């Protein structure tokens, strides 16, 4: 059973994971027709999430370089000797850098969630293919094909 409390944020809206992964066996035609568009949507959102993560990472790296340079300048101006470890320590504890690291982590989490959802959608697509084949096989075995029904109607008239 799918847990309907699991959500993912897409375009600023929280959506149930089950909206993308559940299969309604009574609406297979609709499931088949929507699978490709849902995959394309998730793929598009995944690219945007990856770009956002890369932007946060670049922003963090630039900020770290600025903090490093500022720290060196202040220590040199004050005539304080420093080691690379001391500079790195100053960079790591900087509040702006900590916020940037958290922002980068949040962006990475969003990207990874979409990647997992894309994998689940691929599995759903494979299941739909199998389910469609099973339904066709059952229809053939039970004689419930449209062509057979039309032939039966013609013969009856």
Rounded mean pLDDT, 1-10: 70
pLDDT in tens, 92-134: 999 999 999 999 999 999 999 999 999 988 988 888 888 878 8
CA neighbor of 8 nearest in space, from 128, 124, 115: 115
Tokens of 94: 């900087």
Note if the pTM is more than 0.85: no
Q: How confident is the model at residue 153 (pLDDT cuts 50, 70, 90)?
A: low
Q: What is the rounded distance in angstroms from the CA atom of residue 104 to the CA atom of residue 81?
A: 32
* pLDDT score recorded for residue 137: 78
pLDDT in tens, 35-63: 888 899 999 999 999 999 999 999 999 99
């Amino acid at each position: 059973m799918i847990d309907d409390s699991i959500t993912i944020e897409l375009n600023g809206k929280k959506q149930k994971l089950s909206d993308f992964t559940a299969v309604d066996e009574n609406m297979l035609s609709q499931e088949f027709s929507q699978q490709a568009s849902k995959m394309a949507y998730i793929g598009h959102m995944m690219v945007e999430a990856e770009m956002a993560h890369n932007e946060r990472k670049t922003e963090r790296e630039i900020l770290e370089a600025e903090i490093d340079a500022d720290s060196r300048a202040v220590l040199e101006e004050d005539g304080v000797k420093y080691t690379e470890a001391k500079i790195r320590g100053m960079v790591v504890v900087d509040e702006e850098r900590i916020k940037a690291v958290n922002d980068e982590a949040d962006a990475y989490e969003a990207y990874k969630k979409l990647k997992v959802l894309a994998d689940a959608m691929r599995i759903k697509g494979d299941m739909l293919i199998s389910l469609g084949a099973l339904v066709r096989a059952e229809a053939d075995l039970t004689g419930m094909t449209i062509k057979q029904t039309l032939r039966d109607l013609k013969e009856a008239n």
